[in-house]
Amino acid sequence: MAKKSILVTGGSGFLGSHLCERLLDMGHEVLCVDNFFTGQKANILHLVDNPYFEVLRHDVTFPLYIEVDEIYNLACPASPIHYQFDPVQTTKTSVHGAINMLGLAKRIRGKILQASTSEVYGDPEMHPQREDYWGHVNPNGLRACYDEGKRCAETLFFDYHRQHKLRIKVARIFNTYGPRMAMNDGRVVSNFIIQALQGKPITVYGKGEQTRSFCYVDDLVDGLIRLMQDTPDEFTGPMNLGNPGEFTILELAETVIAMTGSKSRIEFKPLPSDDPMQRRPDITLAKSTIGWEPRVNLEIGLRKTIEYFDAQLKAERG
């Protein structure tokens, strides 16, 4: 396999850091670009001594002039707490960031992958969600900065493909979890684990009947790389990447309590605005095109994630 020079935007984030690590393990050169708004230097600290790894502090809403072979565009806050903190900047990161990275890919004549999201489906009326479903999204809601930003980014990718013959890949990522999730990102898996480890009430919104599908990070990264490397140029996606196993939020809370041996009780709170009631990917396309499906079940993945957060909390306590 030929060594490539690969740019990963958002490379110090949860997903980005795992992707950088895997690409280095495969023998590539990796340039990690991040403005460290949500990314953590600690996520990539173990990579900095690798001579084939480079870090650049940069905001993708501004143009970037470099020479690489391929681009993975992961830059964007991905949890509601973070993307709603500065919603205008979130939209700019998705839209301006896509324009700048597509412009770079056009100049270098490189291949580029967009990390899109299951949020493009909104609160879906189709279940499970297939790639040909156009979605049910509130364009004016609190989540629209992320949902519509990602939808617009997809539009830009496909227009660059049609207009400039750019080689693109679009992955729609469903709920992903694992080590290096930010402790303060407000996502359900990290929230529940931290609350359980600290013996605090487990916060469940609504009755906990809404469903989610949880994909372990190693499986997800494998899917991204296969989509980028194992499909012909004429295959663009979008392609769903996620675990089709479906669990209610209440089931997840009870599982985390049992696995941590916590004495936490479950506390119910009102459902947030525009919170989707169901999420489950149809991964038929991924199976047939790149032979991909998740291998890590929820219990194994949660055990590894619990161990990570337990170590983080112990380190904070000194």
The single-letter code of the amino acid at 186 is G
With beta carbons less than 8 A apart as the criterion, state whether 269 and 201 touch.
Answer: no
Name the residue among 5, 22, 11, 6 with its Cα closest to residue 221: 22
Alpha-carbon distance of 195 to 209, in angstroms, equals: 20
Tokens of 191: 């929230």
Distances (CA, A) of 227 to 142, 173, 215: 31, 12, 16
- Look at strands 266-269 and 211-212 and give their pairing: unpaired
Residue with tokens 């629209």: 144
- Among 91, 92, 93, 223, CA closest to 170: 223
Residue 222 burial (CB < 10 Å; 0-12/13-18/19+)?
A: middle
For residue 121, indicate whether it is catalytic: no
Phi, psi angles (nearest 5°) of residue 177? -145, 165
| The pair of three-digit structure tokens given for residue 163, joined into one six-digit string | 């207009």
CB atoms within 10 A of CB 209: 13
In sequence order, the β-bridge partners of residue 172 are 116, 240
Peptide bond into 238 cis (omega under 30): yes
SS3 111: strand
Question: Catalytic residue among 72, 146, 177, 216, which?
Answer: 146
- Helices 249-260 and 188-197, interaxial angle, to 10°? 30
The DSSP code sequence of 64-80 is -----SEEEE--S--SH
Q: Which residues are designated catalytic?
A: 146
